[in-house]
Structures are given as structure tokens and as C-alpha cells.
Amino acid sequence: MPVFPFSLHSKLPRVGTSIFTVMSRMANEYGAINLSQGFPDFRCSAELVELVNKAMKEGHNQYAPMAGLPKLREEIAKKTVELYNASYNPETEITITAGATQAIYTAIAAVVNEGDEVIVFTPAYDCYEPAIEMQGGKPVFIQLQLPNYHIDWNTVRKMINQKTRMIIINTPHNPTGSILKENDIAELEKILAHNHIILLSDEVYEHIIFDNQPHLSMARYPKLAEKSFIISSFGKTYHTTGWKIGYCIAPEILMNEFRKIHQYIVFSANTAIQYAYSEILKHKELYLQLPMFYQKKRDTFLNLIQHSRFIPLHTEGSYFQLLNYTNISKENDVAFAEKLIKEHKIASIPVSVFYNQKTDNHMLRFCFAKEDETLEKAAEILKRI
Ligand SMILES: Cc1ncc(COP(=O)(O)O)c(C=O)c1O
């Protein structure tokens, strides 16, 4: 290819290849066990694949309605009433998206304007910041507090001003595995009582929560729900991250704006897969048993590594386990993660990459959504380090 003939003004000049891609590439290159990326190495249910197949064979291969298949939206509405005692109108308040990532981008694009501030708690999942910047908004970062990565609500109070348009929360939390508790909700309710701030609640791990704790969806709290975009993902719940289907629920006035953007980004999401999810959602046991399934994985992994020199943090939800390595090395976390791949053949994600300032607490993120055999092999390595 000839050299590009003029200079391009990048809209996201600081964004490069993501660490997930870098770590996975290195994991392949060095033949390492890959606990870096957040997806299962086991299969989704054969019944779900059959249902997609059936929908395709029955001819459901054209565009779905813009807001999503009505049957699927109705099932989501039923589930939201049953689990969170909240009723959303499937006609006007639920939209199916091409994964949670698209829903997050769309919600931010719908309401964040030039100069608006958006509070983001770090470490944070990586798609919030660029989506805010693309709208000319300003991410305002507040660090979660160690040792258990909780929100310091006094700092939030101090950072709120006339320009604050949105607060983004994520429970259960990637990368730390922490969850919001009732006291957090009470603080949030107080803080949002007297301003016009919109909440974006990323709840993609709503069904991956442990030790019998309830998932505190914003949908449960009318005062918060009335100003929230709540976003979830079927990819996490049904071990189908590659299918990229998620959804957003929000009051009609927010959803109207959401759909204006949604229809020009994707118009609609994959039809056959929406048919399949609308059927599988009827089998409630599948999502109701998911906490136990992943809690077992968490505990298996923790038991296997208990005699290692890594110090585990308490994971309350999500499928990530943070391990602190201060007993082993003083290296920065990126260098240490690279060394683990090259010398020990195990891949993780250094937690500093989830911070705007690359804050390094000597912490690595390991994904335990893996076959027990994979976890056993990983633990063997970790115990030797
Ligand atoms: C916190 C969080 N939000 C959103 C997403 C994106 O979900 P999806 O794959 O449905 O776009 C992920 C995926 O890892 C995530 O961890």
C-alpha cells in the first residue's frame, strides 16, 4: 500500500490495540494457558444452538424489528418483574442490542453532549471512556477504594457539579469482582435526589453473583430506575459471548433517545439468535443456577491455588479473580504479566490497564470461566511461581 497521502486527525488518538488482544496474541505465541480474556472455554448448551438452527431453517433470516423481537422483549419484561419487581413496557422501554457494548455506546451517545462530565469509577471496563470522548464529553475518574474496591461516596459528592450528566456503575464489577451493597444504593439515592444526572448501570454479570447475595439491579429502586439505562448481555449468561446480543431497559423518555441512535448504528440485532433466546429464557433454571455454577468454579480455583504465594481478593460476583503478587515480585504489573506468559506460560490481565492513570496495585486479573481441567493446569503453574 502507498503511504496515506495526508495526516488524519484521529478521534481517539490515545487508543491503540487493546491489552486483551495483546495478551491473547502473546498467549498463543508462547503456548500459554489463557485466563486473560473474559469468556468461557466450554460450550454453550446444545439446545440453544438447536434453537438458533431451527429459527434459521424456519426462515427467520431477515431483519428483526428495530427494537428487537417482540417475543424476546416480552420475556425480558417478565424476567425483570419476577427478579426485580420492576415493570418495563416491552413496546417502549426495552431494546435488544448487538451486545452490551453497543448498548453502552448507544446510551452514552444518546444523552452525553459536548462538555458534559461523566463519572467513571476505576478500574473500569474499557469501553466507557472512548464512548464518552466520542461525544465530546469528559470522563471524570474516581478510583475505587482498596482493599475491596468500594466506592467512596464522599468523593463522588465532591466531584459532582453543574456539568455532571451521567454516572456509570457496574455491578458485579469487571475487573475486581466487587458488587454494590444496600449502603451504596442508599448513598446513590441521596446523591441523585436533587439533580438531573442519568445513571448508566452495566449489569452484564447480573446472574454471576455469589454466596447467596442478591443482585442489586437499579430496576429494584424506583427512584433510581426512573433515571437509569440498565444494560445486560446474554453472552455472559448463556456462555455465548461470540453471539453479541444484549439489551437495554430504560424509562420511555430515555429509551426514545436511545432508539434514535440505535437505529442508525445497527438498526437491529441478529434475528435467529433473538428467537433462540426468547425460547431459552423460559427455562428460568438456567439463569437461576448460574450463580452456583460459577461459585463452584471460583471456589475450585481458589482451593487449587491456596498454597501459592499469590494473595486472592474476595470475588463476590463476575467471573474474575484478582490475585495480588507483592509476595513474589516488585515489578510493575504489565511487566510481571508478560513475564508470566513468556516464562511460566500463563496469561492474565494486569489491572493497571483498567485505570486512566495506569495505577499499579500489583494485581492481576484471572478469568475462571474455564473447564476445571484448565483451572487445574493454571493452578499447577501458579503454585510453582
Ligand atoms: C463489564 C462489562 N460490560 C460490558 C461487556 C460487553 O458485553 P458484550 O460482549 O455483550 O458486548 C463486558 C464484556 O466483557 C463487560 O465485562
In this structure, the answer to whether residues 34 and 95 fall within a common structural domain is no
Q: Residue 147: is the preceding peptide bond cis (ω within 30°)?
A: yes
In this structure, the answer to whether residues 31 and 170 fall within a common structural domain is no
Of the residues 242, 257, 283, the one at which a domain ends: 283
Q: Is 360's pLDDT higher than 90?
A: yes
The least confident of 15-24, 137-146, 254-263, 335-344 is 15-24
147 C-alpha to ligand 1 centroid (Å): 24
Distance, CA of 42 to CA of 62 (rounded, Å): 30
| pLDDT tens-digit series, residues 4-13 | 999 988 999 8
Q: How far is CA 204 from CA 104, 172, 385, in A?
A: 11, 8, 33
Domain-located, residue 155: yes
204 C-alpha to ligand 1 centroid (Å): 6
In this structure, the answer to whether residues 37 and 113 fall within a common structural domain is no
pLDDT range class, residue 301, cuts 50, 70, 90: very high
Query: Does residue 174's CB lie within 6 angstroms of at least one atom of ligand 1?
Result: yes
Q: Which atom of ligand 1 is nearest to the CA of 170?
A: 1
pLDDT range class, residue 37, cuts 50, 70, 90: confident
Q: What is the pLDDT of residue 1?
A: 84
- Structural contact between residues 112 and 137, judged by C-beta atoms closer than 8 angstroms: yes
Distance, CA of 294 to CA of 375 (rounded, Å): 13
In this structure, the answer to whether residues 235 and 324 fall within a common structural domain is no
Nearest CA to ligand 1 atom 14: 38
Average pLDDT over residues 88-108: 98
In this structure, the answer to whether residues 226 and 112 fall within a common structural domain is yes
Q: Do the strands 117-122 and 94-97 form a parallel or antiparallel pair, or are they unpaired?
A: unpaired
Distance, CA of 231 to CA of 249 (rounded, Å): 7
In this structure, the answer to whether residues 247 and 131 fall within a common structural domain is yes
Work out the number of other CB atoms within 10 angstroms of the CB of residue 197.
16
Domain-located, residue 215: yes
Q: Which of 16, 31, 41, 67 is nearest to 370 (CA)?
A: 41
Mutate to test the pocket of ligand 1, among 36, 104, 201, 233 (most ligand atoms within 8 A of CB): 233
We report the CATH number of the domain holding residue 367 as: 3.90.1150.10
Number of domains in the chain: 2
Of the residues 229, 261, 283, the one at which a domain ends: 283
In this structure, the answer to whether residues 208 and 260 fall within a common structural domain is yes
The DSSP result for 215-239, as a single string, is: P--GGG-HHHHTTEEEEEEHHHHTT
Q: What is the pLDDT of residue 141?
A: 98
Q: Is 19's pLDDT higher than 90?
A: no
Of the residues 283, 308, 325, the one at which a domain ends: 283
Query: Does residue 106's CB lie within 6 angstroms of at least one atom of ligand 1?
Result: no
1 C-alpha to ligand 1 centroid (Å): 35
Domain-located, residue 353: yes
Which set of grid coordinates corresponds to residue 265?
448504528
- Structural contact between residues 280 and 48, judged by C-beta atoms closer than 8 angstroms: yes
In this structure, the answer to whether residues 237 and 351 fall within a common structural domain is no
Report residue 10: phi and psi, to 5°.
-65, 140
Q: Is 15's pLDDT higher than 90?
A: no
- Per-residue three-class SS string for 164-201: EEEEEEECCCCCCCCCCCHHHHHHHHHHHCCCCCEEEE
Average pLDDT over residues 143-171: 97
In this structure, the answer to whether residues 378 and 275 fall within a common structural domain is no
In this structure, the answer to whether residues 219 and 293 fall within a common structural domain is no
Domain-located, residue 12: no
Q: What is the pLDDT of residue 225?
A: 98
In this structure, the answer to whether residues 32 and 162 fall within a common structural domain is no
* Domain that residue 311 falls in: 19-44+288-384
Average pLDDT over residues 27-53: 95
Q: What is the pLDDT of residue 14?
A: 86
- Structural contact between residues 258 and 110, judged by C-beta atoms closer than 8 angstroms: yes
The DSSP result for 120-151, as a single string, is: EEES--TTHHHHHHHTT-EEEEEEPBTTTTB-
Query: Does residue 317's CB lie within 6 angstroms of at least one atom of ligand 1?
Result: no
Beta-carbon contacts of residue 194 (< 8 Å; ≥ 6 apart): none
| pLDDT tens-digit series, residues 195-225 | 999 999 999 999 999 999 999 999 999 999 9
Query: Does residue 40's CB lie within 6 angstroms of at least one atom of ligand 1?
Result: no
Bigger pLDDT: 22 or 118? 118
Domain-located, residue 97: yes
Stated pTM of the model? 0.97
The mean pLDDT value of the chain amounts to: 97
Average pLDDT over residues 48-64: 98
pLDDT range class, residue 20, cuts 50, 70, 90: confident
We report the CATH number of the domain holding residue 190 as: 3.40.640.10
